[in-house]
Chain A
């Protein structure tokens, strides 16, 4: 591939505990994600998926192996350096939105700019940028609302605006539609797809196969190892196969899908 690599992991391992109680959460992950990719991460709970996401999000250190983010080896950085990396290069979207409950939408979107080390902006510039970000997620008219005055879908869109405010190289979404109804889920996926079309690199954890199916690449983690890594053509072929099978199934099974 000719596009620059955003994520590169080399034999990534994470071991929790010590001695007899050692648990190997990641047993050597080799992963490469290029700019502009929209990747779904799947896997049952306890598979090491969350551990991988924490390391990719620079919230945790790998026990062994290297993690190169946007061309910079971040495996051995200290807490402060990691905080700066998260601020400048990463955007987070959580299942539970994690808006600050006493802050209005626009104040919330401005928070990451407060912790910038470089390219610090004045208060008015921040406000302008935050307003533009809210506009891009269609919430300009809700800028001065508190989280409890917003619907779940709206809260998540505020979170997306906040995640993008420092123009990160990578957007990490942890089950962003997990707490939303179907309609709101579509809205959020629509937003993420738009970002993807504009060339944003997104890694998203999801449990819903029909959401994963919309994405060009699926990574499945099982027992701390990469179990499956396929691009969208394979996914499409498999989806067809699955659909064919579904049609042969009895009526009640079809309803479940």
Chain B
């Protein structure tokens, strides 16, 4: 038999039982379509995250505490390590060249009340005036926190746009007193809408001087002794300055201030690309998870093909016997059935690719999730559907080839 004869036989067999062939393919179609859609969704999310991080400004440094506690074998240096404290912010700002802004955040989560309106679990961000430049937020009405607010520990608050609408509706919130937990704060400004950036909804937060948050919302014993501890300091680097130079300066300064060895610091400095890299590895593992779920459905599709091919071999035992009697070798029979299985899975794969591409498009348009179709996902799913056909078609084909012609001809 030559290749076109084999294809012809497989095509005839598949088309002679259309509904069964289609149902068999359905498993592969769903598998392949879900591979493509899922990769498109995670790809789209990844692109979106990268865009958001870039939108923060390209010259941002993230300094965070990294304290290692050594337990009973703790070294003196480890015991002494404090991590970042609030006073580091002022030190960085005043002592490092090439820094455009330094901002810090101390987060709490509190209940807000104004009149009869109550909002629960609203993030309260204690911060500094540089927050607007560093995080790229804009004030819509009123003003942001000033240095004077900080110095005098003024009980003022700036609202995110959603919080403002929910508490005040259309009336002007500026100058109003709201109750945060049990502390009364005066609204001095409302931010412009910004949206969600790496999981933070800027519209759904309120902003207060960091000293207010330290004292009212996150008091600690440690703070009285060592100064207020902070988790992350954001440094906006002057575009003209050398980023690595700034990083080195900050490292030296902080190591000296915290009295730790520069080789085992109690803080880490990350650049934007470090953060993007970390985000990417998160989405990559997310993608792997999705792809393996889709892979499992492809596997199930393959089992469906194997099942139907086994049924087909039993049904067509006489045909196999006859073909053997007129001169088909076991190899001819095996190739015939294997081709049929591969054709089922590959045709299913092609339909699945089309469905996946259309599905990704619709998902992106109406599902509220950004989707970017990856060209490799098309190759991957086509290849794996062909592979599924070969793997799951092999056993039935083998079984057909090994039939004894005498037995097969007698079968009814």
Contacts and interface: CB of A to CB of B under 8 A. Distances in A.
A80 B327 contact: no
A38 interface: no
B328 A83 contact: yes
Interface string B400-412: 0000011001000
Contacts of B325: 57, 59, 86, 92, 98
Given A83-B324, A101-B319, A102-B16, 7 more contacts: A59-B325, A59-B406, A79-B330, A80-B329, A92-B326, A98-B318, A115-B327
A83 B12 contact: no
B329 A111 contact: no
22 contacts: A59-B325, A59-B405, A59-B406, A79-B330, A80-B329, A83-B328, A83-B329, A84-B327, A84-B329, A86-B324, A86-B326, A87-B327, A94-B409, A98-B321, A98-B325, A100-B319, A111-B323, A111-B326, A114-B5, A115-B1, A115-B327, A115-B329
A114 B328 CA distance: 9
Nearest to B333: A83
A112 interface: yes
Contacts of B406: 54, 59-60
Contacts of A112: 326-327
Interface in B293-326: 318-319, 321-326
B238 interface: no
Q: Which 10 A-B pairs have the closest CB atoms?
A: A87-B327, A115-B327, A112-B326, A83-B329, A80-B329, A98-B322, A102-B16, A59-B405, A115-B328, A86-B327
B52 interface: no
B329 A98 contact: no
Interface string B3-16: 00100000011001
Contacts, number: 58
Interface residues of B, number: 22
A100 B316 CA distance: 9
B332 interface: yes
Contact of B326 (A54, A60, A87, A101): A87
A220 interface: no
B53 to A, nearest CB: 60
A100 B322 contact: yes
A86 B328 CA distance: 9
Interface in A193-219: none
A116 B16 CA distance: 25
Contact of A102 (B12, B318, B321, B332): B12
B215 interface: no
Nearest to A163: B326
A173 interface: no
A125 B67 CA distance: 85
A242 B406 CA distance: 37
A80 B409 contact: no
Nearest to A53: B406
B47 interface: no
B339 to A, nearest CB: 14
Contacts of A86: 324-327
Nearest to A159: B322
Contact of A162 (B13, B324, B326, B409): B326
A88 interface: yes
B111 interface: no
Question: Which of B16, B324, B329, B406 neighbours the largest number of chain A CB atoms within 10 Å of its CB?
Answer: B329
Interface in B8-65: 12-13, 16
B1 A114 contact: yes
A103 to B, nearest CB: 8
B118 interface: no
Contacts of A98: 318, 321-322, 325, 409
A79 B406 CA distance: 13
Nearest to A89: B327
Contacts of B323: 111, 115
Contacts of B12: 102
B80 interface: no
Nearest to A98: B322
B95 interface: no
Interface string A44-72: 00000000001001011000000000000
B193 to A, nearest CB: 66
B331 interface: yes
B324 to A, nearest CB: 7
A53 B217 CA distance: 98
B322 A88 contact: no
Contacts of B318: 98
Nearest to A92: B325
Given A59-B405, A94-B409, A115 B326 contact: yes
A97 to B, nearest CB: 10
A54 B325 CA distance: 10
